[in-house]
Amino acid sequence: MSDEKPPVEICKGVNDLDKVVLRGLRGSSAEVYLYGGHVTSWKNNHDEELLFLSSKAIFKPPKAIRGGIPICFPQFGSHGNLEQHGFVRNRFWSIDRSPPPLTVSCNKAFVDLIFKPSEEDLKIWPYSYEFRLRITIGPGGDLMLTSRIKNTDGRPFSFTFAYRTYFSISDISKIFSEVRIEGLETLDYLDNLKSRERFTEQCDAITFESEVDRIYLETPTKIAILDHEKKQTFVLRKDGLPDAVVWNPWEKKAKSMMDFGDDEYKHMLCVEAAAIEKAITLKPGEEWKGRLYLSVVPSCYRSGQLAPLRVLQG
């Protein structure tokens, strides 16, 4: 009898919550909780965790899970009348048994989820919609999230959105830390620590020595997060999401968060594909699609630059 595990498995997770495990051909994997439609784990072919999940994460409704890839909809942050980052991240989703067609090769493991607002949700945000989410892990271990939001209401509505991705990184607090972001240089950003005042990025690459909370505007489709100590680079690609959020709470704020360890800021970095500055508006019957594609490549420094440069240029 073969002990080979299936590419898609539905099982129980923390606090007996339902989750789906996706397995790639060469040993990579991802875990998705139906609570929040939330990706909580993404591992490479060597079983190394690539996403940060707080040791104090609360897997209990109505609290959102701290870490992984929570989805912010229909509101990003606290800039609106809804709860921070919207409410779909702390609602139960269902497995979509009849999803619309999307191109997927037979070598990819995937699951389709769907969320529709309840009567209680409609009291909070009075619009009807269908939110379909496909999570895919490719044969090489790449992770893709594709969101489709369809307006099933009789009125237009507008929303903001983000894939709030927590990357696991080497110690960012070291004096000579070599964790950096490339691809956002010379761009304008809104600084959430300064009442969303607008600035222009002056550095060749973004490095970290204190709290950062910025919304970069009109960003490229590819962004690279270099981690010299781990000798790897995360490559974030996105479609339908013009903005990018960069966030690390640093020491003081980390200590004020009940679901976040005091020192955990050292080993996480949020880089989020988002649509924030200009809200997305859907007329009745219209559908929006936003895609996040994550991969990891080996990397090193050559004259202080990303090697190979084809990560961003290819």
How many C-alpha atoms does 144 have within 13 Å on its Cβ side?
Answer: 24
Cα gap 208→227, rounded to integer Å: 12
Chain-centroid distance, C-alpha 189: 19
User: Terminal CA-to-CA distance of the chain, rounded, Å?
Assistant: 44
Question: Residues 96, 35, 276, 310: is their CA dihedral positive or negative?
Answer: negative
Cα gap 104→122, rounded to integer Å: 33
91 belongs to an annotated ligand binding site = no
Cα gap 79→72, rounded to integer Å: 12
**To which residue do tokens 């072919």 refer?**
45
237 belongs to an annotated ligand binding site = no
Cα gap 10→269, rounded to integer Å: 29
232 belongs to an annotated ligand binding site = no
Show binding-site residues: 66, 84, 89
Show binding-site residues for substrate: 66, 84, 89
